[in-house]
Amino acid sequence: MNVPVVHPLWLRTTHWLNAVAVTLMVMSGWRIYDASPFFDISFSAGITLGGWLGGALQWHFAAMWLLAANGVFYLLMNVLTGRLRSKFFPLSPAAILADLRAALAGRLSHADLSRYNAVQRLAYLFAILDVALLIASGLVLWKSVQFPLLRELLGGYETARRVHFFAMAAMVAFVAVHLVMVALVPRTLVAMIRGR
Ligand code: HEM
């Protein structure tokens, strides 16, 4: 029997490249933050990447090209193939509440892996927008003088640093919830690896 494709190859490739890029960015970012923390917290060296500020910056600047190029390709493909509209919309607060209630009561069906429920749609759109915010605020920190408008839109250099930090924290929270969801419905992982 011909099993239908749930995730096309380009989607699976960009998803896994993104997972690698996000991991490298977050771990090296924690090391960069540790060199000049602005909260009372710092990240233990064992969970950071790069060894020291210079090494962490090298990792961060290398992985950012992968994150950005891969993200632009993912978005372009989603828009051009009409996938963005068909997979993530329509989306309404009523549908999100209904699916959230059903999920908490253990009544949310995962029979059709090719259709995302409203909570998945919201979570994935959130992740996409959060990566965009990470890249925009990262651009300001990297080339502050070259992007004055973006810098002012984000409240100036120091505020952009906080925005970048909180966007990172939101991304880490998304990934934590994402991994719990994948563990609860492991069939989705098979589909994200094999396509069907
Ligand atoms: C090792 C870590 C990861 C695993 C095991 C994983 C696994 C998965 C799986 C199984 C799906 C399909 C879920 C479904 O059918 O509902 C998925 C989709 C998705 N994941 Fe992940 N993921 C990981 C990391 C990440 C990271 C770091 C991001 C950060 C942005 C991310 C963003 C997404 C998005 C946006 C989708 C929906 C993609 C689309 O359909 O366009 N994932 N992931």
Mutate to test the pocket of ligand 1, among 12, 13, 15 (most ligand atoms within 8 A of CB): 15
Report the nearest atom of ligand 1 relative to the CA of 6.
15
Alpha helices per DSSP H over the chain:
9-35, 53-80, 83-88, 93-104, 118-142, 148-153, 157-184, 187-194
- Predicted TM-score (pTM) of the model is 0.96
Q: Does residue 96 have its Cβ closer than 6 Å to ligand 1?
A: no
Q: Does residue 176 have its Cβ closer than 6 Å to ligand 1?
A: no
Q: Does residue 124 have its Cβ closer than 6 Å to ligand 1?
A: yes
Q: What is the pLDDT of residue 59?
A: 98
Cβ atoms of 150 and 140 closer than 8 Å: yes
Q: Does residue 185 have its Cβ closer than 6 Å to ligand 1?
A: no
Backbone angles phi, psi at 185, to 5 degrees: -130, 75
Q: Does residue 77 have its Cβ closer than 6 Å to ligand 1?
A: no
Q: Read off the pLDDT of each residue in 93-113 and give the average, rounded to a whole number.
A: 93
Cβ atoms of 57 and 50 closer than 8 Å: yes
Tens of pLDDT along 131-175? 999 999 999 999 999 999 999 999 999 999 999 999 999 999 999
Q: Does residue 131 have its Cβ closer than 6 Å to ligand 1?
A: yes
Q: Does residue 81 have its Cβ closer than 6 Å to ligand 1?
A: no
Q: Read off the pLDDT of each residue in 23-29 and give the average, rounded to a whole number.
A: 98
- Within its chain, how far is the Cα of 79 from the centroid? 18
Q: Read off the pLDDT of each residue in 82-91 and give the average, rounded to a whole number.
A: 98
Q: What is the pLDDT of residue 154?
A: 98
Amino acid, res. 44? S
Cβ atoms of 178 and 29 closer than 8 Å: no
C-alpha distances in angstroms, 67 versus 22, 83, 104, 140, 168? 7, 20, 33, 16, 14
1 pLDDT higher than 70: no
Tens of pLDDT along 28-81? 999 999 999 999 999 999 999 999 999 999 999 999 999 999 999 999 999 999
Question: How far is the C-alpha of 65 from the C-alpha of 51, rounded, in Å?
Answer: 21
Confidence of residue 109 (pLDDT cuts 50, 70, 90): confident
Cβ atoms of 53 and 35 closer than 8 Å: yes
Mutate to test the pocket of ligand 1, among 125, 177, 182 (most ligand atoms within 8 A of CB): 182
Question: How far is the C-alpha of 173 from the C-alpha of 97, rounded, in Å?
Answer: 20
